[in-house]
Structure 1
Amino acid sequence: MTTDEIDNPAAYWGRLWASGRRYSPLTDAETALLAQYTGPGRGRLALDIGCGDGALTHHLAGLGYEVTGLDCTPVAPALAEPTAGPVQYCCADIEATQPPPLPQRAFALITARLLFAFIKDKPSFLDRVRSLLDSGGVFWVVTPMADRLPPEHASIGITGLDEELLTRRWGTVRATDLGTLRCYALRAWSADDTETRGHR
């Protein structure tokens, strides 16, 4: 399976979730890294793109974020555990021509777990993420690396060229390996950073 074979993402992923398919669960090591790079929510806004069954969305709510889980199919979020935290779900394709109808547009944290390899137009996707991030906000990406996977599964990971594209145009970039996964904390330029760059 490759991204080019997924002509209708909502139908494709909806069938898999409905059939009982599940993906790599969150680990303690991953959530510890997330907390290290992003800190407590304190009521700040977070967007979980490709939220699936809401595992990460639910975790972010537990950290104190006001979270919106975004997925292209309603099937996956329908499987999410109920939570008393400030969580809502939005069914929309992040790659659609029109931006998704999100309740907010300045997120302190945006997450994309096990998603980036499947994005068809990665430059446009990254531009959209930046447009949704608040000044100094963090884009948290977790993805397999293609060169660490068996050849038959390499399409679910990103290449070196994908990584180069992903990590451009950020104020700071931090990457940590967890087995076949790589976790990125990509911090957007803040207003202070922009002013400093302008005086160099």
Structure 2
Amino acid sequence: MGCGTGELAAHLAGVGYTVDAVDLTDSAIARACAEHAAVEGVRWLQLDIERDDPAPLHEEGYDLITMRLVYSFVRDRGRIVHGLGERLRDGGALVVITPIVENTPAERRGVALDEGEITLLDAGWETVERLDADGLAFLVLRGPCHLDARAVEKRPATPATP
């Protein structure tokens, strides 16, 4: 989700995954198609994950879903993340890679998450693994998630501690 110009999608296809690369903008999809035309195993899809019909996505599910540098731009986060979690096959993972406030310059903190937001993101999943990737939070969520997305949205964020 949020494939942008397709670098991660092309890499995943190169290591053997069959990839559905999804982005909101047709310009990103067009650029990704052009830059990675020789890569086999990628299906490029222009789709608004918050508003469009998810019918183009595979009904049989996915082993891996990634949201790289896109989570902070999603408005209905709980519904989307848990909805994506429902599309995971047994043993699958949802990976969210996102900037965190502590490692983000003040002028760019609007696209970064604080610890309270990360706590909301990982609530209800069977297992959560958190790694650091050059100052980004790299969360590996495995499920199925046991929370109703509406309940997640209503939980208050916990303020980050210094």
TM-score by length of structure 1 reads 0.66
Decide whether aligned partners of structure 1 residues 124 and 174 sit closer, same or farther in structure 2, where only a CA change above 3 A counts.
Answer: same
Q: Which residue of 1 aligns with 2:48?
A: 93
1:169 aligns with 2:124: yes
Whole-angstrom distance in 2 between the partners of 1:117 and 1:189? 22
Percent of aligned pairs sharing the same letter: 34
Stretch moving more, 139-148 or 79-88:
79-88
1:78 aligns with 2:30: yes
**C-alpha distance after superposition, 1:142-198 (max 9, x if no partner):** 1110232122110111122210111112221111112321111111249xxxxxxxx
After the TM superposition, which segments of 4 or more aligned residues of structure 1 sit over 4 Å from their partners?
A: none
RMSD: 1.7
In structure 2, distance between residues paired with 1:111 and 1:100: 18
Residues 1:65 and 2:17 aligned together: yes
Distance change (3 Å), C-alpha of 1:97 and 1:70? closer
Aligned residues: 142
8 Å Cα contact 1:116-1:158 kept in structure 2: no
Normalised TM-score (structure 2): 0.80
Alpha-carbon distance in structure 1 between the residues aligned to 2:40 and 2:90:
25
Shift of 1:97: 5.8
The structure-2 alpha-carbon separation of the partners of 1:82 and 1:166, relative to structure 1 and needing over 3 Å to count, comes to same
Uncovered stretches (5+) of structure 1, i.e. residues with no partner: 1-48, 191-200
